[in-house]
């Protein structure tokens, strides 16, 4: 299984992330990574993220800005 993130603007348009993403083998690893880099992603232009498992949407979009 591969867990991946999609990085988006608030309108849902996909953007290139400021931090190079990985493919993760567990949901926990993917969530830990986003917890470590969310500020850099937000500063780099991503407003929200969506998590996928093998191409299937698990949840999201999840805002990176706590005030959203």
Q: Model confidence over 35-47: pLDDT tens digits?
A: 999 999 999 999 9
The counts of H helices and E strands in the chain are 1, 3
Prediction pTM value: 0.91
Distance of CA 14 to the CA centre of its chain: 11
Hey, what are 22's tokens? 């990985």
As a whole number, mean pLDDT of residues 7-30 equals 95
Mean pLDDT computed over every residue of the chain: 94
Q: Residue 31's CB: how many other CB atoms inside 10 A?
A: 15
């Amino acid at each position: 299984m591969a867990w991946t993130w999609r990085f988006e603007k608030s309108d849902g348009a996909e953007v290139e992330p400021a931090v190079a993403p990985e493919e993760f083998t567990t949901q926990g690893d993917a969530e830990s990574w986003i917890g470590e880099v969310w500020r850099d992603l937000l500063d780099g232009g991503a407003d929200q993220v969506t998590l996928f498992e093998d191409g299937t949407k698990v949840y999201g979009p999840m805002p990176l800005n706590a005030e959203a």
